[in-house]
Amino acid sequence: MTNIQTLDRLVGTWQISGGAEGTVIYEWMEGGHFLIQHVHLSQNGQEVKGIEMIGHLKPFGESKSPDIRSRYYDTLGNTFDYVYELEGDSLVIWAGDKGSPSYYKGAFRSDGDTHSGAWHYPGGGGYETMMTRVSPAGGMGIG
């Protein structure tokens, strides 16, 4: 089972550049069980704002899911589901389920404040992106 606390290195405010431009903020929900991403991006001339709840699924009375899953909601009425995997400096975000042909793969630089990678889509689509932390947050200690 992947530990949700491995995503603590995402906490903070990030400037996004590349195929999408804007800002994202990651913060822990009180209790430390869920990471929340606030999104404000512009892509292909379209402004998009959204929120993503990231954590293990845990229906009442059941065990936690082995994977870290998320659901994203945006101001255009879209919802997207993802699976997060972070091993070492490598981050993979699968669109839908693990092993999907649509995914993001990137890596943190040694300073931990820069992350670059690319979204890959079936048929050769996708785009490169870079995140640069512009404001840190308190990490797990804030939740």
What pLDDT shows up at residue 142? 39
Each residue's pLDDT expressed in tens, for the chain with a length of 143 residues: 679 999 999 999 999 999 999 999 999 999 999 999 999 999 989 999 999 999 999 999 999 999 999 999 999 999 999 999 999 999 999 999 999 999 999 999 999 999 999 999 998 889 999 999 999 875 554 33
Among 107, 106, 96, smallest CA distance to 127 is for: 106
Q: How many Cβ atoms sit within 10 Å of the Cβ of residue 4?
A: 20
What pLDDT shows up at residue 138? 56
CATH at residue 81: 2.40.128.20
What pLDDT shows up at residue 2? 76
What pLDDT shows up at residue 125? 86
What pLDDT shows up at residue 124? 84
- Which residues form the domain of 54? 4-142
What pLDDT shows up at residue 143? 39
Alpha carbon distance 15, 86 (integer Å): 20
Among 8, 11, 3, 119, smallest CA distance to 68 is for: 3
> Number of folded domains in the chain?
1
Q: Exposed (0-12), middle (13-18) or buried (19+): which is 129, by Cβ within 10 Å? A: buried
Q: CA distances (Å), 15 to each of 54, 84, 114, 129, 130, in order?
A: 20, 20, 10, 10, 8
What pLDDT shows up at residue 12? 96
